[in-house]
Structure 1
């Protein structure tokens, strides 16, 4: 692999559109090195501080809502850089920091890397290079964080993996193709197909199955939605963070969908 640095244009795109930052946040209460999420006591203390953001205490719902944000902030810049820029970021836990930011009443944490050097594949070796990036992102980061948080509350790995999966699908299907060249779109489509259909379980820190594959289902059209969409396999517990409202996500399996 060849080692490079991010260009100013790359940094501008990643920091403005893909939840990355190059500066530590001044808000140290809700910012931390990702390694702290693997420590039982530190992760519990942090999640107890974060839970009120989701209008709840430390619970299955607050952990689920946190993982939605965490999965997106880690996957978005790494997968955009890999597929659109053909550049690799090291998102291993030891190299990653969660930096806390607010936009109005919305909490929008971002990813900061201690070492933001990037790699590029050598000629004819992109598949091996891609595996290295995916493994750093999933097996050495997201999977470890999910397993640690699962020890705090009773929540299944399926719920947490689907929380990450839905945003990965959205990135590739809706977001990253905007303004992409034909070459970039072809690379993006190939990477997405590999991620959801072919990548081996070990790259995700799993023993038997690629955890994204089971959630990559056909989109369905319903009477309530003009555009087809995927119905989730699991409920993310969002409704438990809306007391008195019981608002459900559009694709929630608890909702009775009328298909057309």
Structure 2
């Protein structure tokens, strides 16, 4: 069944989950997401946004862009799925990246071309699979493949960048002000996404997130347990020579 988000639901997603209703006029950094699948257009876009990251190479730019793109694609879609039981269509031919000129920090938003959403009727598991397919197989997997072709960045880095934000959204952000019933649904969805969902929903042979969603460990650099990364995102190569590694970086030598 197709419905619309309510005004209250839209307000939440606009305020906290990177959704926007209006295009940014005369922005040099907004584009139809489908253009990311055109190697020439995608390369041009990565070169254009590189200064926002103070990136020294197209490889580093691709990794840092992937972090932002995964968040804007997943955040509102996951919130709507797990809190509203509504499916936002974020397949790649239905979204625009909207970004302010010279914004600091560079935090783009997502705009839907068709804002009609799907609503749960009977089988939530089947419905959820279709929502997840739209997020991953019909969007992120296609963009990650394009970035890999253009920059030679390993897809393992791009999927771990994705997994980090899946973990953050479901372990922290989506739980804010949630009822007991919503918390149970959030936990169920999270477990399914990272442990049980088949690879076909991600456009891959197997679930690409499971490997990056293991237990947290205690390290000296953090007061709280963290998941150690298995791949490096290249953040340390940005800005100046004193930039430190992320505390979870695999390049850090540990006892």
State TM-score, norm by structure 1.
Answer: 0.95
In structure 1, the residue matched to 2:86 is 87
Q: Is the 8 A contact 2:30 2:97 kept in 1?
A: yes
Q: Is the 8 A contact 1:5 1:116 kept in 2?
A: yes
In structure 1, the residue matched to 2:41 is 42
CA 240–8 in structure 1, closer or farther in 2 if over 3 Å, else same: same
Indicate yes or no: 2:97 matched with 1:98. Answer: yes
- CA root-mean-square deviation: 1.3
Deviation of residue 223 (structure 1)? 2.1
CA distance in 1, matches of 2:246, 2:173: 20
- Determine which structure has the larger strand proportion and give its number: 1
Alignment of 1:100-249 (within 5 A): 100-101=99-100, 105-123=104-122, 125-207=123-205, 209-249=206-246
CA distance in 2, matches of 1:253, 1:27: 41
Determine helix, strand or coil for the equivalent of 2:218: strand
Q: Is the 8 A contact 2:55 2:239 kept in 1?
A: no
Indicate yes or no: 2:19 matched with 1:20. Answer: yes
Aligned length: 255
**Runs of 5+ consecutive residues of structure 2 not aligned to the other structure:** none
Deviation of residue 122 (structure 1)? 1.2
Q: Is the 8 A contact 1:75 1:137 kept in 2?
A: yes
Deviation of residue 4 (structure 1)? 1.1
Indicate yes or no: 2:68 matched with 1:31. Answer: no
CA distance in 2, matches of 1:248, 1:117: 42
Deviation of residue 183 (structure 1)? 1.0
**Runs of 5+ consecutive residues of structure 1 not aligned to the other structure:** none
Deviation of residue 103 (structure 1)? 8.7
